[in-house]
Amino acid sequence: MTLKVGIPRALLYYYYLPLWRTFFEALGLEVVISRPTTKTILDAGLQNSGDDVCLPVRLAFGHVLDLKDRVDVLFLPRLVSIARREYICPKFLGFPDMVRHGISGLPPLIDPNLNLYRKDSPYPFFVALGRNFTSNRLAIYLAYRRAMHAQVRYVQLLERGLFPEQALALLYQGVAEGQESGGGGPTVAVIGHPYNIYDPYISMNLLSRLARSGVRVCSADNLPETLIREQAARLPKHLFWSLGQRMIGAAWHYLQSPDVDGIIHVASFACGPDSLTGELISREVRRRGKPFLNLTLDEHSAEAGVVTRLEAFLDMMERRQFLPVRESV
């Protein structure tokens, strides 16, 4: 019987699924992914986590609960650092412990530390991870190679303009269910953490809603890493959050790009890093004067409110096109 490994559809799922999934499958394990977010999943997460915890982490609790009774082991890597001299967010560092002490009756957790703060290669992480399932070093090495290869392909697809769900569908089902749209419409950059903007339930279908309104949408993940880092290097001090780097680098790139007509910044309520990076972004936007919408999401967000604000934002962009900005009065 093959061992079932559970991967929650939350947090950095949208960045790293091909990496984890390919690695486990190459080792002959069965990967079970939690179901797409629903109200039930979110509610379960809310009931089992503290009030002060941010929405993405509470949602991740819900996804862990969704997997709890369906898998043999749960894969919750402790993502300490995914790039040199950078962290993600304290909650990613503590997530396995928060889950372990917040939910009872869990299957065994596999939570090796991924820490690239002073290292470049994630290989030791995969060795530690693979050791849980096999003692065959060669098999681990080969699985690692395949996983890295899959990840590179995935990132290439994103950089070609696909969003994670389309890219994952292409990788695993061989089909691209496109939301290709926006012929002639304006282009909007959506800047936000992957677990907020790519989860259709949490973002209230933000991306497809925009696409249906004839807007061409792009996000930080459509940009190559080097470009993002080049932009973020303009900050007075190296930013020590990897996701913050992406947000700021992408926002600043899109601000300068003449093809992008507006920017939507999506943050979850009380998000720590976003409170500072969002501030830096909105200050820069004010200096340059591009249409900007700051959407804050939490478990109480109502669809009608979001839709109204989105419509107002799109109207504003439309008016801008018909009423060219008067250079001098």
Partner 1 sequence: MKVTFPHMGHMWICLSAMLEYLGVEVVVPPPSSKRTLTLGARHAPEFACLPLKLNLGNFMEASELGADTILMAGGCGPCRFGYYAQVEHAILEDLGYKYRLVVMEPPQKHVGELLSKIKYITGHSSWWEVVRGIRFGYQKARMVDELERQANYLRPREIHRGSTDKAFKRALQEIIAAKHPRDLPQAGERVRKIMAQVVIKPRPVLRVGIVGEIFTLLEPFANYDLERRLGYLGVETDRSIYLSEWINDHLFLGLVRGLRSRKEACQAAPPYLNHFVGGHGQETVGSTVMYAKQGYDGVIQLLPFTCMPEIVAHSVLPRLSTELGIPTLTITVDEQSGEAGLVTRLEAFIDLLARKKGVV
Query: What is the contact surface with partner 1 in residues (CB under 8 A)?
Result: 49-50, 52-54, 78, 80, 85-91, 93-94, 96-98, 101-102, 113, 235-237, 239-241, 269-276, 278-280, 283
Q: How far is the CB of 258 from partner 1 (least distance, A)?
A: 26
- Taking the C-alpha atoms of residue 252 and residue 232, their distance in angstroms, rounded to an integer, is 8
Nearest to 288 by CA among 319, 329, 321, 260: 260
- Taking the C-alpha atoms of residue 282 and residue 287, their distance in angstroms, rounded to an integer, is 9
Nearest to 176 by CA among 193, 159, 164: 164
Q: How far is the CB of 222 from partner 1 (least distance, A)?
A: 26
Q: How far is the CB of 175 from partner 1 (least distance, A)?
A: 39
Q: How far is the CB of 270 from partner 1 (least distance, A)?
A: 4
**What stretch of H or E contains 127?**
helix 123-130
User: Would you say 148 or 235 has its CB closer to partner 1?
Assistant: 235
User: Would you say 4 or 100 has its CB closer to partner 1?
Assistant: 100
Fill in the DSSP letter of residue 221.
G
User: Would you say 52 or 327 has its CB closer to partner 1?
Assistant: 52
- Taking the C-alpha atoms of residue 60 and residue 63, their distance in angstroms, rounded to an integer, is 5
User: Would you say 19 or 98 has its CB closer to partner 1?
Assistant: 98
User: Would you say 60 or 211 has its CB closer to partner 1?
Assistant: 60
Number of H-type helices and E-type strands within the chain? 13, 10
Q: How many C-beta atoms lie closer than 10 Å to residue 146's C-beta?
A: 16
- Taking the C-alpha atoms of residue 256 and residue 270, their distance in angstroms, rounded to an integer, is 28
Q: How far is the CB of 15 from partner 1 (least distance, A)?
A: 17
Q: How far is the CB of 151 from partner 1 (least distance, A)?
A: 24
User: Would you say 4 or 78 has its CB closer to partner 1?
Assistant: 78
- Taking the C-alpha atoms of residue 251 and residue 264, their distance in angstroms, rounded to an integer, is 9
